């Protein structure tokens, strides 16, 4: 393609954010308007990807490739397939909504905040586009800095603790991944080309070592049990926009890493580690749901629900069949929409009450009926009501899980029951308990706030009623991915079969 669209999507928000350095920090309205315009232009720039994407092939599209550091065979290599395309579009939407929800919530260091959001957007899109391991690692680490600042500067009273915990967990995992990347470079013909590395075969012992090196980074980002403990603290202390981006995009990076790197490059290890990964996923599903029942803080409850929901995602990926993997990818999108919407809604009511304690609410349905309607829809989508997007993803994951390991589907289904329990109980306490004095006279949602939530409502019903509009992007790429994993399993079994025949 003649137009470097992916580069434009990566660097436009970065350049736009840095250009805001020329604006006086006292001009808050100008800064907010500039940030919103930049994010809206970025959203419009991403639309050609949706309309021009060829759904009939697994090959990378919109490819850009230049020699960067030839002595180390490092390239500026970008491209997207049916797995990554949807996350770019979601990233642009989530960023725009995050800027809108911060319009009045952020009153200090507004310029710095908006610049951090836009820099983060560029890094996130870079992660989904990079096809060179060195380039990928740069974008992966670049995401850490703006999110570190967003939580550490504009977060809650315990933001320092949450920020350091977030930084240490992600940095340690990333350093182990870096060791894995260097090892892979040395054993893969001194190449950082991700597609080329996936075409080669590596000894099982090496694959297992690399699997756990990558696991250290990706499992933390998901986050999988037991390396999940940074997430509730980060969500609780982050400003609303930080929580929305964390839930909507950043924690998808871990599952994306499993899809893009661990599974195609390390297929033997993927087959060998299928059961441990399924077990860890089931623990996360059930543990996260049970912990939600004990929460007294709105944001911590939704944060722990992410541990449970992302457990479904990793279960789908490692059940290793078409239904489960496509369901896992779709559920990544669904979780970004629904949980992002829940954090948006919680941020809106927090601006009015300045409390996240569930006990401080009650009777909100009578004081904010429009808000109650939105929150009810997001709650029902979260528990997987048929007709909403949450149902489709969970159904495909359970179907695929049952095909591979029926016992896994059984235990995962208990997570659905627990999920309905804690979410409906939360809704009852907030909206239908006796009216609390702290919610009397609260103003209803403004037009700006309604405009923020409406796109999420549209996506919930669009995906729920017409899931093939997204699944059609994935089919060829998922089929190719599973072919890579299964061919490794067949090759692994062939010598055993030959030995039995000879014997």
- Coil/strand/helix, residue 57: coil
319-356 pLDDT per residue, tens: 988 899 999 999 999 999 999 999 999 989 888 888 88
Q: Which helix (H) or strand (E) holds 49?
A: helix 28-52
In this prediction, residue 489 carries a pLDDT of: 58
For residue 323, how many C-alpha atoms fall within 13 Å in the half-sphere facing its CB? 13
Q: What is the C-alpha to C-alpha distance for residues 183 and 415, in angstroms, rounded to an integer?
A: 38
Question: Could you tell me if 162 and 154 are in contact, meaning their C-beta atoms sit under 8 angstroms apart?
Answer: no
Over pLDDT 90: what percentage of the chain? 44
Average pLDDT for the chain:
88
Euclidean distance between the first and final Cα of the chain, in Å?
56
Q: Which long-range contacts (CB under 8 A, 24 or more apart) does 47-55 make?
A: 48/5, 49/5, 49/80, 49/85, 49/88, 49/89, 50/85, 50/89, 53/80, 53/82, 53/85, 53/473, 55/82, 55/472, 55/473, 55/475, 55/476
181-231 pLDDT per residue, tens: 999 888 877 888 888 888 888 888 899 999 999 998 899 888 888 888 888
C-alpha angle 403-409-413 in degrees, rounded to nearest 5: 150
What is the number of other CB atoms lying within 10 angstroms of the CB of residue 408?
Answer: 24
Average pLDDT over residues 477-494: 74
Q: What is the C-alpha to C-alpha distance for residues 210 and 291, in angstroms, rounded to an integer?
A: 32
Helix axes 159-187, 204-221, angle to 10 degrees: 160
Average pLDDT over residues 444-454: 91
Q: What is the C-alpha to C-alpha distance for residues 202 and 219, in angstroms, rounded to an integer?
A: 22
- Coil/strand/helix, residue 44: helix
């Amino acid at each position: 393609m003649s137009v470097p669209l992916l580069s434009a999507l990566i660097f436009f928000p970065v350049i736009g954010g840095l250009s805001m350095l020329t604006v006086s920090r006292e001009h808050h309205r100008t800064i907010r308007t500039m940030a919103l315009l930049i994010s809206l232009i970025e959203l419009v720039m991403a639309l050609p990807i949706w309309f021009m994407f060829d759904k009939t092939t697994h090959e990378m599209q919109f490819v850009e490739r230049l020699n960067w550091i030839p002595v180390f065979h490092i390239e500026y290599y970008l491209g997207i397939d049916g797995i990554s395309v949807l996350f770019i579009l979601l990233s642009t939407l989530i960023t725009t909504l995050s800027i809108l929800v911060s319009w009045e919530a952020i009153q200090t260091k507004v310029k710095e905040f908006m610049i951090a959001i836009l820099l983060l957007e560029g890094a996130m899109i870079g992660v989904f586009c990079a096809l060179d391991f060195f380039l990928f690692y740069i974008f992966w680490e670049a995401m850490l800095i703006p999110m570190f600042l967003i939580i550490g500067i504009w977060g809650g009273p315990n933001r320092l603790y949450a920020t350091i915990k977030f930084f240490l967990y992600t940095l340690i995992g990333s350093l182990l991944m870096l060791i894995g990347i260097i090892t892979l470079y040395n054993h893969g013909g001194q190449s950082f080309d991700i597609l080329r590395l996936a075409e080669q075969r590596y000894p099982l012992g090496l694959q297992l070592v690399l699997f756990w090196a990558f696991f250290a980074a990706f499992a933390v980002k998901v986050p999988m049990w037991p390396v999940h403990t940074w997430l509730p603290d980060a969500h609780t202390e982050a400003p609303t926009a930080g929580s929305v981006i964390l839930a909507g995009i950043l924690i998808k990076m871990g599952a994306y890493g499993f899809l893009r790197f661990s599974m195609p490059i390390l297929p033997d290890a993927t087959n060998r580690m299928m059961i441990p990964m399924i077990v860890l996923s089931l623990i996360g599903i059930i543990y996260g749901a049970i912990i939600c029942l004990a929460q007294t803080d709105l944001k911590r409850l939704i944060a722990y629900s992410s541990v449970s929901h992302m457990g479904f995602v990793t279960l789908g990926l490692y059940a290793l069949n078409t239904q489960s993997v496509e369901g896992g990818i779709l559920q990544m999108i669904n979780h970004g929409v629904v949980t992002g919407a829940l954090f948006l809604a919680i941020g809106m009511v927090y601006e009015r009450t300045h409390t996240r304690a569930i006990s401080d609410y009650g009777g909100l349905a009578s004081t904010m009926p429009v808000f109650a309607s939105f929150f009810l829809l997001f709650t029902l989508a979260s528990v997987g009501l048929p007709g909403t997007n949450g149902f489709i993803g969970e159904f495909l994951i359970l179907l695929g899980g049952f095909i591979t390991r029926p016992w896994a589907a059984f235990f995962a289904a208990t997570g659905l029951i627990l999920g309905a329990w804690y979410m409906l109980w939360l809704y009852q306490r907030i909206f239908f308990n006796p009216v609390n004095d702290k919610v009397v006279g609260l103003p209803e949602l403004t037009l700006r706030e309604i405009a923020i939530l409406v796109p999420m409502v549209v996506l919930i019903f669009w995906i729920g009623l017409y899931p093939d509009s997204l699944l059609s992007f994935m089919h060829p790429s998922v089929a190719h991915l599973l072919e890579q994993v299964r061919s490794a399993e067949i090759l692994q079994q062939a010598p055993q079969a030959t030995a039995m025949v000879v014997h």
